[in-house]
Amino acid sequence: MTGAPARPSLEITGLTLRIGASEILRGVDLRLAAGRIQGLAGESGSGKTMTGLAVLGLLPATARLGGSISYAGRELLSMAPRERNALRGTEIAMVFQDPSTSLHPMLSIGAQLTDHLRHHRRLDRAAARGRAEELLARVRIPDPAHALRRFPHQFSGGQRQRIAIAIALACSPKVLIADEPTTALDVTVQAGVLHLLRELATEMGLAVLLVTHDLGVMSAVADRVAVMRGGEVVEDGERAQVFTAPAHPYTASLLASLPGAAHGVQSLDDVRALREAARE
């Protein structure tokens, strides 16, 4: 996807969030476009996960939201819960960090995939099975027909996460919220999931919000990168620009502490210098 900026498929404007006395988001602006991966980076507690959950409408009942999240011309924040439920899992899907908790341990993969299809798409049993096999093949699970009869524990961590992605894709969503989708995976397995995310965005025209603290992952797949701190987006730009010429000092300081980044620490002495600077 190159050329002119695509029309946003989901637009977050001035999003604020309070839970009790704490102000968790202080005016977040983000635009997701079809076929593009928008990265959302930040350290723990910066509000990146809460932004994703706000889009999904999965915040606790005590949450007070302000601003706007518009999807295909519709305002999500003022939508009735019933309509919101109909969108979630169909048009706007999600993948979470840990596939061993997001998949049901006692239900077969087939049951988990076909339930979803039969509920949202009203498919009959045979049609749902056929579609489920297609989806598993799409995320490269070997022998899909057999895999449908198996249970989550019979798959490796990387396969489990790809199955979770297959469930997310079941209803051909337009938007995918992926919150730390590779954080629980080993590094040699992570690459496979990243390749898959990249392909899905490009081939299916998915708009992806990739929430991750891992700037290496961000650098590998994101088209745009937004950096959050204290409930605010401090920087949002094209990947190469954010990594090589960060506009905000906070982004620069994050990158400076990373081995392998353009201006990151390259040696033990670099790290010591960073430590001394922090002491002063």
Partner 1 sequence: MSELLRVSGLRVVYPGRPPVRAVDGVDLTVAAGQVVGLVGESGCGKSTVARALCGLVAPAAGTVVFDGTPVPPLGLRRRPVALTRIQLVFQDPYASLHPRRPVGAQIGDGVRAAAARGAESAEPARWLDRVGLAADAARRFPHEFSGGQRQRIAIARALAARPDLLIGDEPISALDASTQAVVAALMRDLAVDSGAGLLFISHDLSVVRLIADRLVVMYRGRIVESGPARDIWAEPRHPYTQSLLAAVPVPDGSGTLPPATPDGVEYPLDPVLR
**Residues lying near partner 1 in the complex (CB under 8 A):** 43-44, 140, 142, 156-159, 186-192, 194-195, 198, 213-221, 239-244, 253-255, 257-262, 264-265, 267-268, 271-272, 274-275, 278-279
Q: Name the minimum Å distance from CB 115 to partner 1.
A: 25
Q: Which is nearer to partner 1, 82 or 275 (CB)?
A: 275
Nearest in space to 224 (alpha carbons), one of 240, 203, 245, 239: 239
Sequence length of the chain is 280
Q: Name the minimum Å distance from CB 186 to partner 1.
A: 4
Rg (Cα) of the chain, in Å, rounded? 20
> Is 91 strand, coil or helix?
coil
Nearest in space to 30 (alpha carbons), one of 50, 47, 10, 7: 10
Nearest in space to 105 (alpha carbons), one of 153, 177, 158: 153
Number of other CB atoms surrounding residue 129 within 10 Å: 18
Cα(104)–Cα(112) distance, integer angstroms: 8
Q: Which is nearer to partner 1, 130 or 192 (CB)?
A: 192
Q: Which is nearer to partner 1, 123 or 185 (CB)?
A: 185
Q: Name the minimum Å distance from CB 86 to partner 1.
A: 35
Q: Which is nearer to partner 1, 58 or 204 (CB)?
A: 204
Q: Which two tokens stand for residue 189?
A: 């397995």
Q: Name the minimum Å distance from CB 219 to partner 1.
A: 5
Q: Name the minimum Å distance from CB 206 to partner 1.
A: 17
The percent of the chain in helix, strand and coil, each rounded to the nearest 5, is 40, 25, 35
Q: Which is nearer to partner 1, 35 or 192 (CB)?
A: 192
Cα(101)–Cα(103) distance, integer angstroms: 6
DSSP state of 275: H
Q: State the sign of the Cα–Cα–Cα–Cα dihedral 215, 231, 24, 93.
A: negative
H or E segment to which residue 75 belongs:
strand 74-75
Q: Name the minimum Å distance from CB 80 to partner 1.
A: 39
Q: Which is nearer to partner 1, 11 or 214 (CB)?
A: 214
Q: Which is nearer to partner 1, 44 or 62 (CB)?
A: 44
Q: Name the minimum Å distance from CB 113 to partner 1.
A: 19
